[in-house]
Chain A
Amino acid sequence: MIRLVYIIIGTAFLLLSSGTASGFERFPPPDFESGYQQPTPANPAPRRNIYEYVDTAVLLAGLSLSSYLVLRTRSRRAILALCVFSLFYFGFWRKGCVCPIGAIQNIALSIFDRDYAVPITVMLFFLLPLVFTLFFGRTFCAAVCPLGAIQDLVVLRPISVPEWLEGGLRMFAYVYLAAAVLFAATGSAFVICRYDPFISFFHLSGNFHLLILGACFLLVGVFVGRPYCRFVCPYGVILRQLSRISKWKVAITPEECIKCRLCEDSCPFGAIRAPTADWPAHDYNKSKKRLAFLIILLPVLVFSSGWIGYALRPVTSRVHATVRLADRVYLEETGQAEETTDASSAFRGTGKDIQELYAEALDIQAGFGLGGWLAGGFVGLVLAGKLIAVSLRRRRTDYQADRAGCLACGRCFEYCPQEHAKRKLAKDN
C-alpha cells in the first residue's frame, strides 16, 4: 500500500513537472511596428566578493567535516551525504567554479606572468585541499570535489580494472597536468576549464560536444568507478603524491587486519592492495639488473621527452590565440588561404603591422619551446619513475588502502568484520 502511494505521488510530481517542459515565450519578441525600443545593453553586476569568502569557508568546513567523517566517524553514509551536498553546492549552485582543479592554471599563470595576480580565494581553493591531503589523505576527493561526487553517485556496477592497465591509463593524467600547466603558464588557455566534462551538467547547458563527453564519462563511470578522477584529473596527480606522505591515512580496518579477504573486492576504484607473497629467489639478480637498466634509462627518457616537448612547439603553441592568428594571417598572406576568419578580419581592421604579429607569435613559440622542454621532461620523469616503481619489490603484510590511489570514499569500512565488531562494542558500551 505504502509502495503504491509512493508510486502515485512520484508519478504525479513528475507529470506536473513535465507539463512545464512544454514551455512558452517568457516575453514576446520585438514587434517592429509598435515602436519597440531596444533596451540598452547592460553588463550584469559582478558577483559580490563576500560570496567568494563564503565559498572558501564552505570549502574549509567541507574539508574538515570530510576528514572527520573519513578518519574518525568512518561512516560511509555521512560521507555520501556530504558528497551530495558538495555536488549541489559546488556543482549545481556554484556552477563548478572556482574549483581547485582549475585553480592549478591560475597558480601556474601567476608564477610565469608577473602581471597576473591570483585572487586570495583562488589561492585558498588551490591550497586548502593540498594541506588537508598532507594531513588526512584525499578527503577532498572523498566528499568535497563536485566532479568526484557526480561520478561517485553513478557508480552502480563497478568492475575491477587490472592494476597494470590502471597504471598505464593513469599516465594520461600526468600528460594532461603537464599540458595544462604549459598552456596556462604561456597564457594560452585554461584547458582544464575549457574541457571540463561536467561543467555543462552543472550549468544545465553547454557545448554539445562537452555534454556528450560528460555523458560518456558518466556512462563509463557506471562500470568503472570515477574514471575522470583516476585517469584524467590533473589535480588528482598532485593529491596522489601528497597523500603518500600524509600524516594520517585511511585504514580499511580500525584494528589489526585479520586477512579475512572480505574487503578484497569492495573498492570500486581498485585502491585496495593485498598482502604480498615472497618474491621468487631465482628472479632476484634479474630484477637487480632490470632496475639498474631502468635507472640508467631515466635521464634518457627525461631528455628525449623534453626534446619531444620542445619539438612540438609549432603544434602546442597553436593553442595560443596570437599564434593561431599569425598562422592564419600567414596562410592568407601567402595565398594558401583566401577566406579570412573573424579573427584575421578583426586583426586586419586594426591596421597593425603583420610583421609585428609574426614577431609576437615567434616570441610565444619560443616560450613554448622552453615550456616544452620542462613539460616533456616532467612527463619523461614520470614515465621512467613509474617503470622503476613497478619494478621494485614491495612487501605488504596486510590488506591496505593504496595511500596514493585511495579516494577515501569509505566503502570498504563496512566490509571489515573488525569494523563491525568495533561498532557493536561501541554501541554496547
Chain B
Amino acid sequence: MKTQTDNNYKSPLKNTEVTRQWYHTAVAAAVIGGVFSLIALELMVFNYFQRTVAEPKREEKLEALKIQLRQEPNDQQLISRIQELDSQSVLDPNLAKELDVLKTKIRDNPDDQHLLSRLRSLYVQIRQDEIRQLDFQIRKVRLRRWDFSSRGSFLLLGSVVVLLVGVKSAASYKKKLPAPQPQPDRRDEQVHKAIRARWAITVAIVVLGSTALLLINRAWLDFGAADMQVTSYPSPDEISKNWPSFRGPGGLGISAYTNVGASWKGTTGQGIIWKSKVPLPGHNSPIVWDDRVFVTGADPNMREVYCFDALSGRLLWKRGVMNVPQGTAEPLEVMEDTGYAASTAVTDGRWVCAIFATGDVGCFNFDGKKVWAGNVGTPDSAYGYASSLAMYRNLLLIQYDQGGAEDEKSKLIALDTFTGRTVWETKRPVPNSWSSPIVVEAAGQPQIITCGDPWVIAYNPTNGTEIWRAKCLGGEIASTPIYAGELIFVIEPYTAMVAIRPDGKGDVTKTHIAWSIDDGTPDISCPVSNGELIFLLTTEGLLTCYKTDDGAKLWEHDFEKNFLASPSLVGDRLYLLSDKGVMHIADFGTEYKELTTCELGEDCYASPAFMDGRIYIRGKENLYCIGSRD
C-alpha cells in the first residue's frame, strides 16, 4: 500500500537532477539574453551618437557648400578656388578633364574673360555635383540609421525578454524559503515607525513648500502686474525727437529743433563738426536715432548699410546685404542717376532696415548684428527702384511698384521687423513708381498713404486693407506725399498738386478732393508745409508758395539752379539744398527772403536730416555733421 507521500512526491534525487539542469539552462538563456541585450544596446547607443554627433557635421559641410555656391566669387577668388579643386575628387570624369585643361589655361591667361566665364560655369557645375552627392550620402546614411535603430529596438526587446525569462526561471529554481527572524519589541517599533512617518511627511511638506517658494521668488512675468503696454516700437514722442526715415517723422521734412546751424563752409571746415567718407555711393538720405547715423551704399556687386557715430563721425560698422535668401546673383542694370542705393533706410531705434535696387532687404540691430535678410523679388523698374522704407509699429512697409499696371506686379508689403516674414501684402493697381509711403494719423486712424499712376491709395497699416482711393495722378510718380493742415498733398510731376481730405471711404475722387493747382509742381522733390503754407520746389529751382486751405498761390522764387533734395522747415525758416551743395536758408511770409547761403563744397542729391543742434547732410561721397562743436 502506497503512502500519501509516495503519491505526491517523486524521487528527491531525480527531482534535484532535473531541477539543476533546468536551472542551468535558465542561467544560460539569461546570460545569452543579457549579452545580446548589451551588444544591441551598445550598437544602438553608438548608432544614436553617430546620428547626433557625426551627421550634423556632414550637414554643416553641406550647408557651407550651399552658402559658398550662393556667394558669387570675384575673378580672383574664382581662380583661387579653382586652383584649390582637386580633379581627382571631381565626380564627373568629363568635368575633371576639363578642369585640368582650364586650370592650365587660366594660369597663362588670368584676364581672359571667355575663359573666366567658362571657369565660372564649370565651378558651379562641380560644386552642384558635390552638393548633390553629399546630400545623397546624408539621406542614405540617415535612412540606414533609422532602419538600424528600428531593427535594433526589436532585437533589444527580444533579447531583454530572453534575459528576463532566464533570470526569472533561474530564480524560481533557487527560491529561498521564508525564514522569519525573531521579532523585536513590536510596541517600540510601531511607535518609532509612527514618529518616522510623521517626520517623512513633514520633510515632504518642507521640500515641497521650499521648492514652491523658491520658484515663486524667481523673476517670472506676471501678466497681471507687468506693464504690458511696453512695445518694441517707439512712442510718437520718441519718433518726433529723432529722424527715423526719409524726411524725418511722418515724412514731413520738418525739424523738431530750431537750434540747428545756419552757417557753415565745407571747404574751410567752418561749422562742420565732422565729415566722414561713405564707402559706397548712394542717393539715399541719412537717418538718425540718438547717437547713430545710418546711410546705405551700393554698386553693382556690393550692397552695404553703414552706421556712423553721431558724435565723432566714426564708422561704427558696415554690413553687407548680399547673397540673401531668395536673392538672385544675376546682375541688375539700373539708371546711373538712380543708382543701387536710392532708397532711404528706416529705423525704430532698435532695428535699422534697408532696401536696395536689387530687392534685397536687410535688417540689423544697432550693434550691427543681422536680424534677418531677404529679397522681395527683383524689381521691374524703368529707372531703378528708389522708394524709401517706412515703418508702422513692428511692420516694415515697402511700396513695391513695378512694371506696368496691367502686369499686376505692384504691391505694398508689410514685413515683420523681428523676423522679416510677410505679415500682409496688398496688390496695387499702378505701374512702377518712385514715391515713398508715409504713415499718418488722419481722420482718427492710422493710414498708409501711397502714390502711383493714377491712384492715391490709403491703406490700413494693421492688415493692408484699402481705406480710400482717389484717381488724380498720372505719369511717373516720384514725389512723396505729405500730410498737413488735415489734408494729404500729392504731386503729379510738372502737372498738378492735389489736396485730398483723408476721411473718406472707397473711391473718393469725386467727393474728397479739396483743391488742385497746376503751377510750379516738381517732378522729384516733395513739398513741405507748416500747415498754413505749402512750398514746392522744382528740380529746375522754382520755389512756389501756396495756401493750404484753398490752394491760393502767394509767391514764387526762381533760384535758376537745380535742386534734387526736398525742402525742409526749421522753425520759421526754409532750408533748401541745391544739387551743388549750397544750402539756402530763408524766411518766408509774404515773399521769399533769403537769409544766408552755406556751401558744402560737394554735390548733394539727398535730403538733410535735422537733430538737436545738428544737421546731417550726405554729399556725393561724404557724410557731414553740421553744427557747433560746443
> Taking beta carbons and an 8 Å cutoff, which residues of A are in contact with B?
2-3, 6-7, 10-11, 14, 17-18, 20-27, 29-33, 92, 153-154, 156, 162-165, 167-168, 171, 175, 201, 204-205, 208, 260-266, 274, 276-280, 283, 301, 304, 308, 311-315, 318, 323, 326-327, 330-335, 338, 340, 344-345, 348-351, 353-355, 358, 361-362, 365-366, 379, 383, 386-387, 390-391, 415
The smallest C-beta distance from A2 to any residue of chain B, in angstroms, reads 7
Asked whether A308 lies within 8 Å of B213 as measured between CB atoms, the reply is: yes
Show 20 A/B contacts (Cβ-Cβ < 8 Å), sorted by A.
A6-B28, A10-B28, A10-B162, A18-B40, A21-B155, A23-B151, A24-B147, A25-B140, A29-B136, A154-B164, A164-B200, A167-B200, A204-B157, A276-B190, A277-B190, A312-B216, A314-B220, A314-B221, A354-B231, A358-B223
Asked whether A6 lies within 8 Å of B25 as measured between CB atoms, the reply is: yes
Contact of B43 among A21, A29, A387 (CB under 8 A): A21
Whether, in the assembled complex, B205 has its beta carbon less than 8 Å from a beta carbon of chain A, the answer is yes
A334 to B349, CA, bound (A): 12
Chain B residues with CB below 8 A from A312, complex form:
212, 215-216
Q: Residue-by-residue, is B455-482 near A (CB-CB < 8 Å gives 1, otherwise 0)?
A: 0000000110000000000000000000
A167 to B203, CA, bound (A): 11
A276 to B186, CA, bound (A): 7
Given contacts A171-B201, A260-B180, 13 further A-B contacts (CB under 8 A): A3-B28, A14-B32, A14-B158, A23-B151, A26-B147, A32-B135, A156-B171, A277-B187, A279-B190, A308-B213, A331-B221, A348-B394, A361-B223
Asked whether B167 lies within 8 Å of A156 as measured between CB atoms, the reply is: yes
For A287, the closest partner residue in chain B by CB is B194
Asked whether B423 lies within 8 Å of A156 as measured between CB atoms, the reply is: no
Contact of B193 among A7, A163, A308 (CB under 8 A): A163
Chain B residues with CB below 8 A from A92, complex form:
157
Contact of A349 among B154, B202, B350, B423 (CB under 8 A): B423
For A317, the closest partner residue in chain B by CB is B223
Question: Given A14-B32, A351-B463 in contact, is the A30-B139 Cβ separation under 8 Å?
Answer: yes
The smallest C-beta distance from B198 to any residue of chain A, in angstroms, reads 6
The smallest C-beta distance from B235 to any residue of chain A, in angstroms, reads 13
The smallest C-beta distance from B322 to any residue of chain A, in angstroms, reads 22
Asked whether B36 lies within 8 Å of A383 as measured between CB atoms, the reply is: no
Asked whether A333 lies within 8 Å of B212 as measured between CB atoms, the reply is: no
Segment of B414-422, B487-495, B538-546, B610-618 in the binding face: B414-422
Question: Given A154-B164, A365-B222 in contact, is the A391-B194 Cβ separation under 8 Å?
Answer: yes
A353 to B395, CA, bound (A): 12
Whether, in the assembled complex, B554 has its beta carbon less than 8 Å from a beta carbon of chain A, the answer is no
Chain A residues with CB below 8 A from B171, complex form:
156
A387 to B132, CA, bound (A): 68
Asked whether B223 lies within 8 Å of A22 as measured between CB atoms, the reply is: no
For B464, the closest partner residue in chain A by CB is A351
A164 to B222, CA, bound (A): 39
Asked whether A168 lies within 8 Å of B228 as measured between CB atoms, the reply is: no
Q: Residue-by-residue, is B178-204 near A (CB-CB < 8 Å gives 1, otherwise 0)?
A: 101001011100110110111111111
Whether, in the assembled complex, B307 has its beta carbon less than 8 Å from a beta carbon of chain A, the answer is no
Chain A residues with CB below 8 A from B32, complex form:
7, 10-11, 14
For window 121-160 of chain B, which residues contact chain A by CB distance below 8 Å?
132, 135-136, 139-140, 143-144, 147-155, 157-159
A185 to B313, CA, bound (A): 59
Asked whether A318 lies within 8 Å of B220 as measured between CB atoms, the reply is: yes
Contact of B232 among A23, A335, A361 (CB under 8 A): A335
Contact of A390 among B143, B201, B218, B394 (CB under 8 A): B201
Asked whether B198 lies within 8 Å of A311 as measured between CB atoms, the reply is: no
Q: Residue-by-residue, is B421-438 near A (CB-CB < 8 Å gives 1, otherwise 0)?
A: 111100000000000000
Chain B residues with CB below 8 A from A335, complex form:
232, 350
A33 to B133, CA, bound (A): 11
Chain A residues with CB below 8 A from B152, complex form:
21
For B29, the closest partner residue in chain A by CB is A10
For A363, the closest partner residue in chain B by CB is B223
Asked whether A205 lies within 8 Å of B167 as measured between CB atoms, the reply is: no
A331 to B219, CA, bound (A): 13
Chain B residues with CB below 8 A from A10, complex form:
28-29, 32, 162
Contact of A208 among B48, B143, B423 (CB under 8 A): B48
Asked whether A164 lies within 8 Å of B199 as measured between CB atoms, the reply is: yes
Chain B residues with CB below 8 A from A25, complex form:
140, 143-144, 147
Whether, in the assembled complex, B24 has its beta carbon less than 8 Å from a beta carbon of chain A, the answer is yes
Whether, in the assembled complex, B226 has its beta carbon less than 8 Å from a beta carbon of chain A, the answer is yes
Question: Given A6-B28, A379-B208 in contact, is the A333-B232 Cβ separation under 8 Å?
Answer: yes
Contact of A351 among B158, B196, B350, B462 (CB under 8 A): B462
A31 to B462, CA, bound (A): 45
The smallest C-beta distance from B146 to any residue of chain A, in angstroms, reads 9
The smallest C-beta distance from A258 to any residue of chain B, in angstroms, reads 13
Asked whether B25 lies within 8 Å of A204 as measured between CB atoms, the reply is: no
Asked whether A348 lies within 8 Å of B40 as measured between CB atoms, the reply is: no
Chain B residues with CB below 8 A from A348, complex form:
394, 416, 418-419, 421, 423
Chain B residues with CB below 8 A from A311, complex form:
212, 216
The smallest C-beta distance from A358 to any residue of chain B, in angstroms, reads 4
Asked whether A21 lies within 8 Å of B40 as measured between CB atoms, the reply is: yes
Contact of B164 among A153, A205, A358, A387 (CB under 8 A): A153
Chain B residues with CB below 8 A from A2, complex form:
21, 25
For A314, the closest partner residue in chain B by CB is B220
Whether, in the assembled complex, B73 has its beta carbon less than 8 Å from a beta carbon of chain A, the answer is no
Asked whether A263 lies within 8 Å of B178 as measured between CB atoms, the reply is: yes
Chain A residues with CB below 8 A from B215, complex form:
312, 315
Chain B residues with CB below 8 A from A387, complex form:
198, 201-202
Asked whether A386 lies within 8 Å of B201 as measured between CB atoms, the reply is: yes
Whether, in the assembled complex, B39 has its beta carbon less than 8 Å from a beta carbon of chain A, the answer is yes
Whether, in the assembled complex, B168 has its beta carbon less than 8 Å from a beta carbon of chain A, the answer is yes
Whether, in the assembled complex, B444 has its beta carbon less than 8 Å from a beta carbon of chain A, the answer is no
For A424, the closest partner residue in chain B by CB is B8
Asked whether B216 lies within 8 Å of A308 as measured between CB atoms, the reply is: yes
For A156, the closest partner residue in chain B by CB is B167
By Cβ-Cβ distance, the 9 closest A-B pairs, closest first, are A168-B200, A277-B186, A314-B220, A29-B139, A164-B196, A204-B153, A390-B197, A261-B180, A362-B223
Chain A residues with CB below 8 A from B36, complex form:
14, 18
A59 to B537, CA, bound (A): 87
Asked whether B155 lies within 8 Å of A340 as measured between CB atoms, the reply is: no
Chain B residues with CB below 8 A from A358, complex form:
223, 228
Question: Given A32-B132, A365-B224 in contact, is the A349-B421 Cβ separation under 8 Å?
Answer: yes
Whether, in the assembled complex, B531 has its beta carbon less than 8 Å from a beta carbon of chain A, the answer is no
A205 to B153, CA, bound (A): 8
The smallest C-beta distance from B157 to any residue of chain A, in angstroms, reads 7
Asked whether A315 lies within 8 Å of B220 as measured between CB atoms, the reply is: yes
Chain B residues with CB below 8 A from A163, complex form:
193, 197
Asked whether A171 lies within 8 Å of B153 as measured between CB atoms, the reply is: no
A175 to B205, CA, bound (A): 11
Of B185, B202, B222, B422, the most chain A CB neighbours within 10 A belong to B222
The smallest C-beta distance from B69 to any residue of chain A, in angstroms, reads 15
For B138, the closest partner residue in chain A by CB is A29
Asked whether B369 lies within 8 Å of A338 as measured between CB atoms, the reply is: yes
